[in-house]
Protein backbone atom coordinates (compact mmCIF):
# COMPACT_ATOMS: atom_id res chain seq x y z
CA UNK A 1 0.00 0.00 0.00
CA UNK A 2 1.25 3.56 -0.65
CA UNK A 3 0.28 4.35 2.95
CA UNK A 4 2.53 1.72 4.56
CA UNK A 5 5.58 3.13 6.32
CA UNK A 6 8.78 3.17 4.27
CA UNK A 7 10.79 3.24 7.51
CA UNK A 8 9.94 -0.39 8.24
CA UNK A 9 10.81 -2.64 5.35
CA UNK A 10 11.90 -6.27 5.83
CA UNK A 11 13.55 -7.48 7.98
CA UNK A 12 12.10 -4.69 10.19
CA UNK A 13 8.54 -5.28 9.07
CA UNK A 14 5.45 -3.91 10.83
CA UNK A 15 1.91 -2.94 9.84
CA UNK A 16 2.16 0.68 10.98
CA UNK A 17 0.71 2.91 8.24
CA UNK A 18 1.95 6.47 7.89
CA UNK A 19 -1.69 7.40 7.23
CA UNK A 20 -4.97 5.50 7.36
CA UNK A 21 -5.83 6.22 3.75
CA UNK A 22 -6.44 9.41 1.84
CA UNK A 23 -10.08 9.96 2.81
CA UNK A 24 -12.36 9.76 5.82
CA UNK A 25 -13.03 6.40 7.45
CA UNK A 26 -16.19 4.96 8.96
CA UNK A 27 -16.76 1.57 10.52
CA UNK A 28 -18.56 -0.39 13.20
CA UNK A 29 -17.41 -3.09 15.57
CA UNK A 30 -18.24 -4.84 18.81
CA UNK A 31 -16.29 -2.27 20.83
CA UNK A 32 -15.84 -2.91 24.56
CA UNK A 33 -18.00 -6.03 24.60
CA UNK A 34 -17.65 -9.26 26.55
CA UNK A 35 -19.77 -12.28 27.46
CA UNK A 36 -18.73 -14.87 30.03
CA UNK A 37 -19.90 -17.49 32.49
CA UNK A 38 -18.58 -17.79 36.04
CA UNK A 39 -18.02 -20.91 38.08
CA UNK A 40 -16.29 -21.06 41.45
CA UNK A 41 -13.37 -18.63 41.05
CA UNK A 42 -13.07 -18.60 37.25
CA UNK A 43 -14.59 -16.78 34.27
CA UNK A 44 -14.73 -18.31 30.78
CA UNK A 45 -15.92 -16.19 27.90
CA UNK A 46 -15.46 -14.25 24.70
CA UNK A 47 -14.53 -10.59 24.35
CA UNK A 48 -13.41 -7.84 22.00
CA UNK A 49 -12.62 -5.25 24.68
CA UNK A 50 -9.30 -3.50 25.08
CA UNK A 51 -7.03 -4.63 27.88
CA UNK A 52 -3.81 -3.47 29.52
CA UNK A 53 -1.34 -5.80 31.21
CA UNK A 54 1.15 -4.01 33.39
CA UNK A 55 1.27 -1.12 35.86
CA UNK A 56 1.99 1.76 33.46
CA UNK A 57 -0.30 4.80 33.35
CA UNK A 58 0.62 6.09 29.89
CA UNK A 59 1.38 2.75 28.26
CA UNK A 60 2.26 -0.92 28.64
CA UNK A 61 4.99 -2.77 26.79
CA UNK A 62 3.57 -6.21 26.02
CA UNK A 63 -0.16 -5.51 25.78
CA UNK A 64 -1.92 -2.17 26.19
CA UNK A 65 -5.08 -0.35 25.18
CA UNK A 66 -3.49 1.54 22.27
CA UNK A 67 -4.87 -0.78 19.56
CA UNK A 68 -8.46 -1.93 18.89
CA UNK A 69 -9.57 -4.81 21.05
CA UNK A 70 -8.62 -8.37 20.11
CA UNK A 71 -11.53 -10.79 19.46
CA UNK A 72 -10.68 -13.68 21.77
CA UNK A 73 -11.65 -16.57 24.01
CA UNK A 74 -10.42 -16.01 27.56
CA UNK A 75 -10.12 -17.72 30.92
CA UNK A 76 -9.42 -15.65 34.03
CA UNK A 77 -9.71 -15.64 37.78
CA UNK A 78 -12.74 -13.67 38.96
CA UNK A 79 -11.00 -12.73 42.21
CA UNK A 80 -7.55 -13.38 43.69
CA UNK A 81 -6.92 -16.91 44.94
CA UNK A 82 -5.72 -16.87 48.53
CA UNK A 83 -2.94 -19.32 49.43
CA UNK A 84 -0.33 -19.64 52.10
CA UNK A 85 2.14 -18.16 49.61
CA UNK A 86 0.05 -15.05 48.93
CA UNK A 87 -2.76 -14.00 46.59
CA UNK A 88 -2.69 -15.08 42.93
CA UNK A 89 -4.69 -13.96 39.89
CA UNK A 90 -4.32 -14.51 36.19
CA UNK A 91 -5.71 -14.29 32.67
CA UNK A 92 -5.12 -16.37 29.53
CA UNK A 93 -6.60 -15.99 26.06
CA UNK A 94 -6.40 -17.03 22.42
CA UNK A 95 -7.32 -14.26 19.99
CA UNK A 96 -7.27 -13.27 16.35
CA UNK A 97 -5.33 -10.29 14.97
CA UNK A 98 -6.22 -8.58 11.70
CA UNK A 99 -4.07 -6.69 9.20
CA UNK A 100 -4.96 -3.08 8.36
CA UNK A 101 -6.24 -2.24 4.83
CA UNK A 102 -3.12 -0.09 4.31
CA UNK A 103 -0.29 -2.64 4.43
CA UNK A 104 0.10 -5.20 1.63
CA UNK A 105 -1.96 -6.93 -1.07
CA UNK A 106 -1.45 -10.51 0.13
CA UNK A 107 -4.75 -11.82 1.58
CA UNK A 108 -3.13 -15.07 2.70
CA UNK A 109 -1.40 -13.39 5.65
CA UNK A 110 -4.21 -11.07 6.80
CA UNK A 111 -4.94 -13.03 9.99
CA UNK A 112 -2.71 -13.94 12.92
CA UNK A 113 -3.27 -15.83 16.16
CA UNK A 114 -2.12 -14.40 19.49
CA UNK A 115 -1.86 -16.65 22.55
CA UNK A 116 -1.11 -14.86 25.81
CA UNK A 117 -1.21 -15.25 29.58
CA UNK A 118 -0.36 -13.22 32.65
CA UNK A 119 -0.05 -14.11 36.35
CA UNK A 120 -0.04 -11.63 39.26
CA UNK A 121 1.13 -12.24 42.82
CA UNK A 122 0.84 -10.17 45.98
CA UNK A 123 1.52 -11.03 49.62
CA UNK A 124 -2.20 -10.64 50.38
CA UNK A 125 -5.45 -9.62 48.70
CA UNK A 126 -5.14 -6.01 49.91
CA UNK A 127 -1.36 -5.85 49.58
CA UNK A 128 0.41 -2.71 48.42
CA UNK A 129 2.86 -4.81 46.40
CA UNK A 130 2.00 -6.57 43.13
CA UNK A 131 4.44 -8.54 40.95
CA UNK A 132 3.47 -10.01 37.60
CA UNK A 133 4.77 -11.88 34.59
CA UNK A 134 3.27 -12.09 31.11
CA UNK A 135 3.96 -14.03 27.92
CA UNK A 136 2.54 -13.74 24.41
CA UNK A 137 3.18 -15.72 21.23
CA UNK A 138 2.03 -14.82 17.71
CA UNK A 139 1.77 -16.90 14.51
CA UNK A 140 0.51 -16.18 11.01
CA UNK A 141 -2.93 -17.68 10.33
CA UNK A 142 -6.01 -18.17 12.47
CA UNK A 143 -6.60 -21.00 14.89
CA UNK A 144 -10.33 -20.31 14.38
CA UNK A 145 -10.24 -20.31 10.57
CA UNK A 146 -10.30 -22.98 7.92
CA UNK A 147 -7.59 -24.17 5.56
CA UNK A 148 -7.39 -20.77 3.84
CA UNK A 149 -5.89 -19.24 6.99
CA UNK A 150 -4.20 -22.18 8.71
CA UNK A 151 -1.33 -21.53 11.09
CA UNK A 152 1.98 -21.29 9.25
CA UNK A 153 5.57 -20.29 9.80
CA UNK A 154 7.55 -19.55 12.95
CA UNK A 155 6.15 -17.70 15.96
CA UNK A 156 7.14 -14.38 17.46
CA UNK A 157 7.02 -14.03 21.21
CA UNK A 158 7.44 -11.48 23.96
CA UNK A 159 7.90 -11.78 27.72
CA UNK A 160 7.32 -9.17 30.40
CA UNK A 161 8.05 -8.73 34.10
CA UNK A 162 6.39 -5.93 36.05
CA UNK A 163 5.85 -4.68 39.59
CA UNK A 164 3.95 -1.99 41.47
CA UNK A 165 4.64 -0.83 45.04
CA UNK A 166 2.53 1.57 47.10
CA UNK A 167 3.14 3.35 50.40
CA UNK A 168 -0.29 4.76 51.31
CA UNK A 169 0.95 6.44 54.48
CA UNK A 170 3.38 8.55 52.43
CA UNK A 171 1.19 8.91 49.34
CA UNK A 172 3.83 7.25 47.15
CA UNK A 173 3.38 4.77 44.33
CA UNK A 174 6.07 3.39 42.01
CA UNK A 175 5.99 0.93 39.12
CA UNK A 176 8.25 -0.68 36.55
CA UNK A 177 7.89 -2.99 33.55
CA UNK A 178 10.66 -4.73 31.60
CA UNK A 179 9.88 -6.61 28.38
CA UNK A 180 12.00 -8.71 26.06
CA UNK A 181 11.10 -9.34 22.43
CA UNK A 182 11.92 -12.80 21.13
CA UNK A 183 12.71 -16.01 22.94
CA UNK A 184 14.41 -15.85 26.31
CA UNK A 185 18.20 -15.72 25.89
CA UNK A 186 20.57 -18.56 26.59
CA UNK A 187 23.13 -18.22 29.35
CA UNK A 188 25.90 -17.12 26.95
CA UNK A 189 23.81 -14.34 25.42
CA UNK A 190 22.47 -13.26 28.81
CA UNK A 191 25.99 -12.86 30.20
CA UNK A 192 27.39 -11.07 27.14
CA UNK A 193 24.54 -8.88 25.80
CA UNK A 194 21.74 -8.99 28.40
CA UNK A 195 20.20 -5.78 27.02
CA UNK A 196 19.45 -7.12 23.53
CA UNK A 197 15.72 -7.01 22.75
CA UNK A 198 14.94 -5.21 26.02
CA UNK A 199 12.49 -2.33 26.53
CA UNK A 200 11.47 -0.78 29.83
CA UNK A 201 9.22 1.77 31.47
CA UNK A 202 9.04 3.11 35.01
CA UNK A 203 7.01 5.67 36.89
CA UNK A 204 6.52 7.43 40.21
CA UNK A 205 3.48 9.11 41.73
CA UNK A 206 3.26 11.35 44.79
CA UNK A 207 -0.08 12.27 46.36
CA UNK A 208 -0.29 15.14 48.86
CA UNK A 209 -3.59 14.95 50.71
CA UNK A 210 -5.35 17.98 52.18
CA UNK A 211 -8.76 18.57 53.71
CA UNK A 212 -10.14 19.94 50.43
CA UNK A 213 -8.51 17.61 47.90
CA UNK A 214 -5.35 15.88 46.70
CA UNK A 215 -2.41 17.30 44.78
CA UNK A 216 -1.09 14.54 42.53
CA UNK A 217 2.33 14.56 40.84
CA UNK A 218 2.97 11.84 38.24
CA UNK A 219 6.01 11.00 36.14
CA UNK A 220 6.60 8.13 33.71
CA UNK A 221 9.35 7.31 31.23
CA UNK A 222 9.69 4.57 28.60
CA UNK A 223 12.55 3.48 26.35
CA UNK A 224 12.10 1.08 23.41
CA UNK A 225 15.36 1.90 21.62
CA UNK A 226 17.60 -1.04 20.79
CA UNK A 227 21.41 -1.19 21.14
CA UNK A 228 23.68 -0.44 18.20
CA UNK A 229 26.91 -1.84 19.65
CA UNK A 230 26.17 -5.54 19.00
CA UNK A 231 28.21 -7.12 16.22
CA UNK A 232 27.62 -10.51 14.63
CA UNK A 233 23.97 -10.72 15.73
CA UNK A 234 21.34 -8.66 13.88
CA UNK A 235 19.25 -6.45 16.15
CA UNK A 236 15.50 -6.09 15.66
CA UNK A 237 13.48 -2.93 16.24
CA UNK A 238 11.04 -3.49 19.10
CA UNK A 239 7.58 -4.60 17.86
CA UNK A 240 8.90 -5.31 14.33
CA UNK A 241 9.45 -8.81 12.96
CA UNK A 242 11.52 -10.59 10.35
CA UNK A 243 9.11 -13.58 10.36
CA UNK A 244 5.61 -12.06 10.67
CA UNK A 245 5.07 -9.15 8.31
CA UNK A 246 2.60 -7.20 10.47
CA UNK A 247 4.71 -7.29 13.63
CA UNK A 248 3.17 -6.51 17.02
CA UNK A 249 0.02 -4.76 15.74
CA UNK A 250 -3.75 -5.04 15.49
CA UNK A 251 -5.47 -3.30 12.54
CA UNK A 252 -2.46 -1.08 11.97
CA UNK A 253 -2.03 0.07 15.57
CA UNK A 254 0.49 -1.09 18.15
CA UNK A 255 -0.50 -3.73 20.67
CA UNK A 256 1.97 -2.27 23.16
CA UNK A 257 3.21 1.24 23.90
CA UNK A 258 2.04 3.84 21.38
CA UNK A 259 5.47 5.49 21.05
CA UNK A 260 6.36 2.60 18.74
CA UNK A 261 9.59 0.96 17.56
CA UNK A 262 12.69 2.85 18.67
CA UNK A 263 10.58 5.27 20.71
CA UNK A 264 11.50 7.05 23.91
CA UNK A 265 9.15 9.13 26.06
CA UNK A 266 8.96 11.18 29.24
CA UNK A 267 5.74 12.39 30.86
CA UNK A 268 5.06 14.67 33.84
CA UNK A 269 1.71 15.86 35.16
CA UNK A 270 0.33 17.76 38.13
CA UNK A 271 -3.37 17.45 39.01
CA UNK A 272 -5.70 18.76 41.69
CA UNK A 273 -8.19 15.98 42.48
CA UNK A 274 -11.45 16.05 44.45
CA UNK A 275 -14.16 13.36 44.64
CA UNK A 276 -16.16 14.93 41.78
CA UNK A 277 -13.60 16.71 39.57
CA UNK A 278 -9.96 17.20 38.72
CA UNK A 279 -7.87 19.78 36.85
CA UNK A 280 -4.24 19.60 35.84
CA UNK A 281 -1.34 20.42 33.57
CA UNK A 282 1.10 18.10 31.81
CA UNK A 283 4.29 18.05 29.75
CA UNK A 284 5.43 15.31 27.36
CA UNK A 285 8.47 14.60 25.20
CA UNK A 286 8.62 11.75 22.65
CA UNK A 287 11.49 10.79 20.37
CA UNK A 288 10.14 8.73 17.46
CA UNK A 289 11.60 5.90 15.34
CA UNK A 290 15.14 6.27 16.68
CA UNK A 291 16.31 2.84 15.50
CA UNK A 292 14.99 3.52 11.99
CA UNK A 293 16.70 6.93 12.07
CA UNK A 294 20.11 5.30 12.50
CA UNK A 295 19.54 3.45 9.19
CA UNK A 296 18.95 6.71 7.31
CA UNK A 297 21.40 8.51 5.04
CA UNK A 298 23.53 10.90 7.16
CA UNK A 299 21.89 10.44 10.59
CA UNK A 300 23.14 13.75 11.99
CA UNK A 301 22.43 14.76 15.60
CA UNK A 302 20.15 17.60 14.48
CA UNK A 303 17.76 15.25 12.59
CA UNK A 304 16.13 13.40 15.51
CA UNK A 305 12.32 13.32 15.20
CA UNK A 306 11.07 14.73 18.54
CA UNK A 307 7.69 15.94 19.80
CA UNK A 308 7.41 18.39 22.69
CA UNK A 309 3.94 19.30 23.92
CA UNK A 310 2.24 20.78 26.98
CA UNK A 311 -1.39 20.96 27.93
CA UNK A 312 -4.22 21.29 30.40
CA UNK A 313 -6.89 18.77 31.27
CA UNK A 314 -9.97 18.41 33.40
CA UNK A 315 -12.46 15.81 34.49
CA UNK A 316 -15.85 16.13 36.17
CA UNK A 317 -18.90 14.08 37.08
CA UNK A 318 -22.14 15.42 35.61
CA UNK A 319 -25.10 13.34 36.65
CA UNK A 320 -24.24 9.77 35.69
CA UNK A 321 -21.63 10.82 33.12
CA UNK A 322 -17.89 11.25 33.47
CA UNK A 323 -16.69 14.07 31.18
CA UNK A 324 -13.01 14.47 30.29
CA UNK A 325 -11.45 17.32 28.32
CA UNK A 326 -7.79 17.66 27.31
CA UNK A 327 -6.20 20.47 25.28
CA UNK A 328 -2.53 20.50 24.31
CA UNK A 329 -0.15 22.20 21.92
CA UNK A 330 3.44 21.74 20.87
CA UNK A 331 5.86 21.07 18.03
CA UNK A 332 7.10 17.96 16.26
CA UNK A 333 10.68 18.82 15.33
CA UNK A 334 12.36 17.32 12.24
CA UNK A 335 9.25 15.38 11.26
CA UNK A 336 10.43 12.04 9.78
CA UNK A 337 14.05 13.25 10.18
CA UNK A 338 13.61 16.19 7.78
CA UNK A 339 16.32 18.69 8.65
CA UNK A 340 18.44 20.13 5.85
CA UNK A 341 20.98 22.13 7.86
CA UNK A 342 23.94 20.08 6.64
CA UNK A 343 22.29 18.41 3.62
CA UNK A 344 22.05 20.63 0.51
CA UNK A 345 18.70 20.36 -1.22
CA UNK A 346 16.86 19.12 1.86
CA UNK A 347 14.46 21.28 3.88
CA UNK A 348 13.63 21.24 7.58
CA UNK A 349 10.08 20.31 8.56
CA UNK A 350 8.69 21.18 11.99
CA UNK A 351 4.98 20.63 12.50
CA UNK A 352 2.57 22.16 14.99
CA UNK A 353 0.90 19.54 17.18
CA UNK A 354 -2.47 20.69 18.56
CA UNK A 355 -4.87 18.24 20.16
CA UNK A 356 -8.34 18.52 21.68
CA UNK A 357 -9.85 15.42 23.23
CA UNK A 358 -13.33 15.17 24.71
CA UNK A 359 -14.83 11.97 26.10
CA UNK A 360 -18.12 11.21 27.83
CA UNK A 361 -18.33 7.91 29.71
CA UNK A 362 -21.16 6.45 31.80
CA UNK A 363 -20.04 6.56 35.42
CA UNK A 364 -20.38 3.39 37.46
CA UNK A 365 -19.56 3.53 41.16
CA UNK A 366 -17.71 0.41 42.25
CA UNK A 367 -18.01 0.01 45.97
CA UNK A 368 -16.53 -2.81 48.03
Look up the CATH number of the domain holding residue 121: 2.40.160.130
- Could you tell me the residue range of the domain that residue 138 belongs to? 42-295
Instruction: Identify whether 286 is part of a domain.
Output: yes
Q: Which long-range contacts (CB under 8 A, 24 or more apart) does 344-350 make?
A: none
**Tally of residues, the chain:** 368
Q: What pLDDT score does 231 carry?
A: 59
- What are the φ/ψ torsions at residue 223 (nearest 5 degrees)? -140, 115
> Would the pLDDT of 293 be above 70?
yes
Instruction: Identify whether 111 is part of a domain.
Output: yes
In whole angstroms, give the CA distance from residue 83 to residue 128. Answer: 17
> Would the pLDDT of 105 be above 60?
yes
Average pLDDT over residues 29-50: 92
Flag the least confident range among 225-234, 245-254, 282-291. Answer: 225-234
> Would the pLDDT of 147 be above 60?
no
Dmax (CA) of the chain: 70
Residues 303-354: tens digit of each pLDDT: 999 999 999 999 999 888 999 999 999 999 999 999 877 777 777 899 999 9
Instruction: Identify whether 327 is part of a domain.
Output: no
Q: What pLDDT score does 367 carry?
A: 45
**By C-alpha distance, which of 90, 160, 93, 91 is closest to 121?**
90
Whether the upstream peptide bond of residue 11 has omega within 30° of 0, thus cis, is: yes
Average pLDDT over residues 167-190: 89
Instruction: Identify whether 223 is part of a domain.
Output: yes
b vs e for 251-282, b when ≥16 Cβ sit within 10 Å of the residue's Cβ?
Answer: bbbbbbbbbbbbbbbebebebbbeeeebebeb
Q: What pLDDT score does 368 carry?
A: 39
Average pLDDT over residues 280-307: 93
151 Cβ partners below 8 Å, 6+ apart? 113, 139, 140, 141, 142, 143
CA distances from 199 to 155, 182, 225, 238 (A): 20, 12, 7, 8
Average pLDDT over residues 82-94: 94
Residues 51-66: tens digit of each pLDDT: 999 999 999 999 999 9
Domain tally, the chain: 1
pTM of the model: 0.90
Report residue 219 CA to chain centroid gap.
Answer: 17
Cα dihedral across residues 102, 108, 109, 115: positive or negative? positive
Q: What pLDDT score does 148 carry?
A: 59
Instruction: Identify whether 357 is part of a domain.
Output: no
Average pLDDT over residues 208-213: 94
Q: Is 299 left (phi over 0), alpha (psi -120 to 50) or beta?
A: beta
Q: What pLDDT score does 43 carry?
A: 96
In whole angstroms, give the CA distance from residue 114 to residue 72. Answer: 9
Q: What pLDDT score does 152 carry?
A: 78
In whole angstroms, give the CA distance from residue 190 to residue 131. Answer: 22
Residue 184 DSSP symbol:
P
Q: Which residue has the higher pLDDT, 178 or 298?
A: 178
Percentage of the chain beyond pLDDT 70 is: 95
In whole angstroms, give the CA distance from residue 122 to residue 331. Answer: 42
Instruction: Identify whether 325 is part of a domain.
Output: no
Q: What is the mean pLDDT of the chain?
A: 90
Instruction: Identify whether 91 is part of a domain.
Output: yes
Average pLDDT over residues 179-194: 81
Q: What pLDDT score does 232 carry?
A: 58
| 4-8, 63-67, 88-92: which is most confident | 88-92
Instruction: Identify whether 10 is part of a domain.
Output: no
On the CB side of 132, how many CA atoms lie within 13 Å of its CA?
27
DSSP string, 57-106: SS--SSB-SSSPPPPEEEEEESSPEEETTEEEEEEEEEEEEE--TTS-S-
At residue 2 the predicted structure's pLDDT band, cuts being 50, 70 and 90, is confident
Locate the DSSP E strands across the chain.
Answer: 34-39, 42-47, 72-77, 81-83, 86-98, 111-122, 129-140, 152-167, 172-181, 198-209, 214-223, 249-250, 253-254, 264-273, 277-287, 306-318, 321-333, 351-362
> Would the pLDDT of 230 be above 80?
no
| 3-17, 218-232, 351-365: which is most confident | 3-17
Amino acid sequence: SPFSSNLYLPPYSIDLPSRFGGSSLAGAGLGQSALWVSAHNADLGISSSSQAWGPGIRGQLLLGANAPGIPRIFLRTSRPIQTGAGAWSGTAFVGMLTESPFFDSNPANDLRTLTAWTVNWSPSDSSTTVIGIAHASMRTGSIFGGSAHKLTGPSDQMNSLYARVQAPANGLRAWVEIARAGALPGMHQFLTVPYQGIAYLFGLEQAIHTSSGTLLFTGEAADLEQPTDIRGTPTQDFYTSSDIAQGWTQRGQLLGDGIGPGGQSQWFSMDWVTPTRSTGVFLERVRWNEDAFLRQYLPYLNRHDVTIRAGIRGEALYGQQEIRVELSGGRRLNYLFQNGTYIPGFGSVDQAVTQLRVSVTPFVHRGR
